[in-house]
Amino acid sequence: MEFRTDIFYLVKTKPRQEEVCELNLKNQSIIHYLPRFKTGKREGKPVFPGYVFVKPSHNDNYQQIRSTRGVVSFVRFESEFATATDELIHNIKEMIEFIDGKMDQLDKHQKGDKVFIKSGPFKDYNAIFEKYCANESAIILINFLRHQQRVKINSEIIA
């Protein structure tokens, strides 16, 4: 089988063998990409567990990659190989950067932390962080009029 050398192919790895597959592809000088989280609780873990992208050169062949330690097989949809363009790989990298940024934010405060409100109607109030919500918001507990009130605010205005 002749590979196209301008695209990435998706290979399925053995369970929890992404690193083994990556190391063996590297040892064979096969261009590959294993998307990983860079920060947060999942730091270093694969974004797509069980999958690695490979970009064969003219010297690489199907059986060589297929028999690489850690690889189960190429991913196919009927007779078509699952492929990704350089643009798609670039988009995946950008998505991971975006997700990592959000994960950093989610790790910033834990339930029960004391926070300070930097702007808005409750500017300069102290509060207790409760949880993050969708849409970049957070729930905080604030003492207001002698009662503790649960308030939903933009998570970017708490410190």
CATH number 3.20.20.70 given to 8-106? no
Copy the structure tokens of residue 146: 């002698």
- Enumerate the domain spans of the chain: 8-106, 109-157
* Interval 30-54 mean pLDDT: 88
Copy the structure tokens of residue 90: 């670039």
- The winner for highest mean pLDDT among 37-41, 58-62, 85-89, 118-122 is 85-89
CATH number 2.30.30.30 given to 109-157? yes
The mean pLDDT value of the chain amounts to 87
pLDDT at residue 33 is higher than 80: yes
pLDDT at residue 103 is higher than 70: no
- 9-26 pLDDT, tens digit per residue, is 999 999 999 999 999 999
More confident residue, 82 or 131: 82
More confident residue, 31 or 102: 31
Render the burial of 13-47: b for 16+ CB within 10 Å, e for the rest.
beeebbeebbebbeeeebebbbbbbeebeeeeebe
Q: Return the pLDDT at 105.
A: 61
Max CA separation in the chain (angstroms): 75
Q: What is the CA radius of gyration of the chain?
A: 23
Q: Return the pLDDT at 134.
A: 66
Enumerate residues 6+ apart whose C-beta is below 8 A from 78.
Answer: none
Alpha-carbon gap, residue 105 to 101, rounded angstroms: 6
The answer to whether 55 and 7 have CB atoms below 8 angstroms apart is yes
pLDDT at residue 65 is higher than 70: yes
Q: Return the pLDDT at 107.
A: 62
Residue 64 three-state SS? helix
Neighbours of 52 (CB within 10 A): 25
> What is the pTM (predicted TM-score) of this model?
0.67
